[in-house]
Structure formats: C-alpha cells, structure tokens
Structure 1
C-alpha cells in the first residue's frame, strides 16, 4: 500500500456507498467541521481509538470504509490517519445532546432453579422474531414462557435482571462454580419505556435525582409499587450465551465484537454508521473529550445526538455509568467523499 494511493482515497477519488441516514426525517442538519473545531482533539490518545476502530472496521460492508480499514492497518500516526481521511460531521435532529453510560453487570445465578435462584434468563423464542410478541407482564407475571426449555440460567434478583436487559449483556456467576456470559439476542418488539421518567412523572423524584441505583433502591423499598414500575416497560430482552468471549475482553456489542471501556459508544444507527469514529464532547461533571467508536446500539438510544458510553464490567463500572447523564455534542468522523455527499443530500 502506498501513500500515493492513500492520498487518492483522501481526495475522495474512490467510489463510496450511500451515506448513512437515507430514511431519516427532513429536519436533520449536517455540518462539516474542521478538526480545529473539536475541543480537546489534539490532547486525546488517537492510537487507542485507532486500535478499537481496527477491531470492527473489517466488518463494515461499504467499499470506502473497507478501504479505510486497510489504510488504518498501515499507518504511522493515528492522529494523521484520522485527519487525512475523515471529516468531522455534526449531525443534528433538533434534540439536545444527551450522554448516558452503560456497563456489563455481574449477577449471581445458577444453571438450575432453586429457592434462591428463581428468575429465568430467557433465550429468544423463534416466534418473537416475527413481530410484536408477549409483553413483559405476560412473560414475567403470567409466566407464558415457562417450561419451554428457553431458560439459559436463573438469577437471584429480579431488579438486577431488569437492568441486565437494559444493558443488553452481562456475566452470571454460577453457584455451581465458574461463570457464563450472556449477550443480546433480540427483543419482544414492544417499545422501550423509561421507568426513570415514570418515577419523575409520578412525582417521586426530580429528573436530576434519578439514576440506576436510585431506581434499584426505590423498587426494593417498595416491592409492590416497584413491581408495577418494572412492568411499566413492556419491552423485554432475550439473551444468548456468549461464553466463548475471552475473560479479558469486553462483552459483544451490536457488531458482534468485544466493546472497549471508554472507547466504545452506543448510538442510533439511523444517524451514525456502526463502526464509525465519533468525537465526544460531554459536559457536566467530569467533562469528556475523547475519540470513540460507534460499535453498539440500544433500544433507548434514539436520535442524532444520543449516545451511551461503555464503562466496563462490574459494580464500579455500574456506579460510574449510572451517574452519567449529561449534555454535550457528538461529531461523527466520516470518509471525506461520504461527508460531502451527505451535504448534497441535505441541499437536494
């Protein structure tokens, strides 16, 4: 691979696929920025971001992304690579930026049910893929999936199981010894409803008071009302066992590759291509200026400026992720020709 060939790529002389967002609404705006307009860009560890980019860019189907992936493997300076072959694109849909955090929880469970481990972690039924399926209440309260052989394991805490579904992946420490890892397999086709927002609507908390730990504590203090609060969210997530993922690697994201703490971000793929680099400018407590890779999605992650930062595995990561709810902006790094093609779509 020669730098002359790479320069041709940077100049946009190679054909690209369609730009992301062909089917989103008309109110979306796209603005091309200069790297000098990215606050803190020069101070980041660009090589760390490039290493994460390389872990999934080979799975991107479009020819321009695949060419950039090959170029990334043969670069000398990570920062130069990003500045030479990409342009920062600010994509906005009218909603303010919102950053939250997620993590890989660890639950206590068993491969067989007993008096302690009573709450099943379900694999996905075949019919659930055909459209709206049973609601959370029908699955949990009415037990309509029981005794179908879909149980991967049983855990000891229904609240932690609920949050496992929110996170989409986790580890289960087994009473028999060892552990298994489970990952997202699909959902029941019903819309996600935030139980945090419901607590605010009920007048229990102000918006700034709500966090995952606050919700956990309230549900446990109020078991009957807490159960109904969990049922407020009809969406139900199914899992698959992914214990083949090495223990030193993160859980699998939407690209079926391990995600990386504080370098992987979950996005709405209607606006941001999976695998794309994204520059994060998170405000609030502990401002964050960092280049991340869009390697994951989530049922609650909707909108051009909505992002969920992966914090890692375990309780400490969970506490850090649960505290994050801040504004800011997210800028997508797009291949040069693709970036300008997106502007043509808007003007057209």
Structure 2
C-alpha cells in the first residue's frame, strides 16, 4: 500500500496452497520479464470483473481511475528516474505511457469483453514474470488499509503510540536502533529515547498498532467521531522478518492454517507473548497525518481495491499495466472464505519490504474489516503479465 509496506499475509506466515495452471518455462530467465508467444496469449482469458458476471455490476470506472493515477505518476521526474536504467530491453517510460493511453481508449470504447479482448491481442504484446522458479510461478498475497480506534492524547485506554518521522532521521547512525531500543519490549518506552514527543496517535491495542507498521497506513476513528488518516513517512534499515514464522518455529502455533484471527486470538489469550514476538520485527515505520487522503502507493498515487498491486520495483515496471491470474478469496456467506480464480487487469503502483524478487505480488484488497479478512487469508500461486503496445 505504502512505499515499504510488507505483505500482511506473508508477515504472519500464512500458507494457503493454490495450484496454478501450468505455464511454459520462459527463456533467458536472467531477466525478470519475458515476452510470451501468441499461443500462450490465447490461454489467458480476459478480465472477469471489467463488465461483471451475470447479475453483477462491473468496475470499469475503478479501472479507469487506476489507469489515470498511473498516468499521473508516469509524468513525474520520479518515473523518469525509475525507467532510466530499467533492465528489460524494450520496456521504456514512453512505451509504458503510450500503452496505458491506448489501453484506456480501448476500455472506454469497447462495447463488450470480446471486442476489448480482440483489440488487446491485435495491438499489445504480453511480457510474463519469470516467477520464483523461472517458469512463471508467482506467489500472491494481499494487503489492506485497516480502520482502528485511536486517540490523539494518551489515556488509560489508549496507550500504544505510532510515531512521526524524526526531523534528524537522515543523520541517525547506522545500523538504526532496533524496535526494542526505540519503544521497549512492552511497546511503552518510546518516550525514554529518540521518539519522545513524536507521538502521532495512540491505540488501545498493541497488536493493532503493530499491524499499522505492517500495512504502512491506516484510518483512525477518534473518540469525537472524526476519522484521521495516517500514511507512511519512513522506516529504519532493518530487514523484514515474519512474526508468524517465528511463532511457528517456537512451536506456539502451527504454520499450516495460520491466519490473522488465529494470531489475534492467541495474543488475546496470551498477551505476554506480544513482548516476546513483536520485538523480533525490527523494521520500524514512521507515519504522517495524510489529511484524509486515500491510501497511497510507492508511485505516490492512490491505490485502488483489487486494481493495484505491489511488486519489487528493482525488477518490475512502476505504474505499468499488468494482468494477473490467481485465486482470490471471497466471503462465502457463511462466515468463511472461498477462493475463486480470477483474470484481471491491474496497475503496478506499489512496493513492499517483503515483496522481493520476480515471484512475489501483493494485491491491495481495500479498506476496512472485510478487506482485512480477505487479505489475511490470501496466499496463492498464479501468473503475472505486463501489457505493452507492439513496436
């Protein structure tokens, strides 16, 4: 969601095995993206949500907004810098921008899925991610923007702060202080070190405060009814670590079937364990009041539910038009989740501290509890493609 945001599902160590459709190994896999053949294109299908299923409304306008957000980014100096040394031959800032402009025209003017599909295959080529196995297999997880209760002042109820970025952060000695050094093992000692006076808001639940560090942003419901939005402002230089895997390694919870509700229940029953496991996650995120702005991605544009993805920006083209094929979780209507394979156009607009390599994608699932429930159980296998106009 926000610059260095980590995958929520991966951070908790969740494992949900979903078997993808086999793909043909891609040649010259030293590059993260490879063009695919026309025969492979024929197997891709098309966006299953653009026009909607029978009896369902499509989300064409959401896709168009997401495209416009990417076009805004592609006009910036940050985009020019990102593409100056992009490693895949033929993928340039100008080509990515022209591809988005043309694709937008096709979405607006096409009267059916079949018409759009024919135009895309006539005018575009697909580049596939080599994945984590050099055969196109990509692991998909989900992330979201949570909504939590919070206060702008500390009270007996609201005790756990999130912090602003220190003004002297750029001059901090490296390696940066650990999480324990910054906030203490109990999460309440931040006023005894360099974070004193930098409290932005206080939460009542320590695990919720920690999850904002994982997600990178949140909406906070204040006692007077106002909603405050907070976004990513910076982070310390410590590497990502999975809290869930740490717990599984110690035998506290089984890794198979580990989910957000399971962890929440565990920490509510054994709150003392928060002081054991949260300090192991040393990356420390700083926040800013984003003034009610929507959740923003690495490209500094809003991310759109189920239309924005996070990838490794050292490998994948930022702001570009992409296409994913993977199972996504949907409410079953019985309090659970069911996975349904989707084929969907998305925009590559974000990055994540846990999203590294050609075989990782994080899908933004939206804002609030329902989005969080879906993000928390998502881990599936699939494929990732990028669309570019033919030369």
Shared topology, TM-score over 0.5? yes
Quote the residue 1:136 is aligned against: 179
* Structure 1 residues 210 and 55: alpha-carbon distance in aligned structure 2, compared to 1, 3 A threshold: same
Is the aligned partner of 1:181 residue 2:197?
A: no
Map Cα deviations across residues 296-342 of structure 1 (whole Å, 9 max, x no partner). 111111121211111111111111111111111212224445xxxxx
Q: Distance between the aligned counterparts of 1:80 and 1:182, measured in 2?
A: 43
Compute the RMSD of aligned alpha carbons. 2.6
Quote the residue 1:18 is aligned against: none
Quote the residue 2:36 is aligned against: 32
Q: Distance between the aligned counterparts of 1:57 and 1:87, measured in 2?
A: 19
Within the candidate set 98, 110, 114, 2:139 is matched to 98
Aligned pair count?
Answer: 309
Q: Distance between the aligned counterparts of 2:37 and 2:197, measured in 1?
A: 53
Dislocated runs of 4+, deviation >6 Å: none
Q: How do 1:39-188 residues align onto structure 2 when only pairs under 5 Å count?
A: 39-41=44-46, 43-45=48-50, 47=60, 48-60=62-74, 61=80, 62-72=93-103, 74-75=105-106, 76-77=109-110, 79=117, 82-83=120-121, 85-95=123-133, 96-129=137-170, 132-141=175-184, 142-143=189-190, 144-145=192-193, 148-188=196-236
Displacement of 1:204 in angstroms is 2.9
* Structure 1 residues 67 and 31: alpha-carbon distance in aligned structure 2, compared to 1, 3 A threshold: closer
Question: Matched residue of 2:357: which SS?
Answer: coil
Is the aligned partner of 1:241 residue 2:289?
A: yes
Q: Distance between the aligned counterparts of 2:269 and 2:386, measured in 1?
A: 42
Q: Distance between the aligned counterparts of 2:287 and 2:31, measured in 1?
A: 36
Q: Distance between the aligned counterparts of 2:31 and 2:41, measured in 1?
A: 27
* Structure 1 residues 147 and 259: alpha-carbon distance in aligned structure 2, compared to 1, 3 A threshold: closer
Q: Distance between the aligned counterparts of 1:333 and 1:222, measured in 2?
A: 48
TM-score (norm 2): 0.72
Within the candidate set 249, 264, 270, 1:216 is matched to 264
Report if aligned partners of 1:101, 1:311 keep a CA contact under 8 Å in 2.
yes
Is the aligned partner of 1:287 residue 2:341?
A: yes
Q: Distance between the aligned counterparts of 1:99 and 1:70, measured in 2?
A: 27
Q: 281-290 or 224-233, which moves further after superposition?
A: 281-290
- 5+ residue gaps in structure 1? 1-24, 338-348
Report if aligned partners of 2:96, 2:388 keep a CA contact under 8 Å in 1.
no
Displacement of 1:216 in angstroms is 2.1
Question: Matched residue of 2:340: which SS?
Answer: coil
Report if aligned partners of 1:33, 1:89 keep a CA contact under 8 Å in 2.
no
Displacement of 1:66 in angstroms is 3.2
Report if aligned partners of 1:88, 1:333 keep a CA contact under 8 Å in 2.
yes
Within the candidate set 300, 304, 312, 2:366 is matched to 312
Displacement of 1:219 in angstroms is 2.1
Report if aligned partners of 2:182, 2:195 keep a CA contact under 8 Å in 1.
no
TM-score (norm 1): 0.80
Quote the residue 1:255 is aligned against: 299
Quote the residue 2:311 is aligned against: 267
* Structure 1 residues 298 and 81: alpha-carbon distance in aligned structure 2, compared to 1, 3 A threshold: farther
Q: 64-73 or 160-169, which moves further after superposition?
A: 64-73
Map Cα deviations across residues 171-214 of structure 1 (whole Å, 9 max, x no partner). 01111330110111111111110111112212233333112222
Q: Distance between the aligned counterparts of 1:180 and 1:92, measured in 2?
A: 40
Report if aligned partners of 2:143, 2:365 keep a CA contact under 8 Å in 1.
yes
Q: 223-232 or 100-109, which moves further after superposition?
A: 223-232
Displacement of 1:110 in angstroms is 0.9
* Structure 1 residues 145 and 218: alpha-carbon distance in aligned structure 2, compared to 1, 3 A threshold: same
Question: Matched residue of 1:301: which SS?
Answer: coil
* Structure 1 residues 43 and 155: alpha-carbon distance in aligned structure 2, compared to 1, 3 A threshold: closer
Quote the residue 1:190 is aligned against: 238
Q: Distance between the aligned counterparts of 2:69 and 2:255, measured in 1?
A: 37
Report if aligned partners of 1:72, 1:81 keep a CA contact under 8 Å in 2.
no
Q: Distance between the aligned counterparts of 2:274 and 2:49, measured in 1?
A: 43
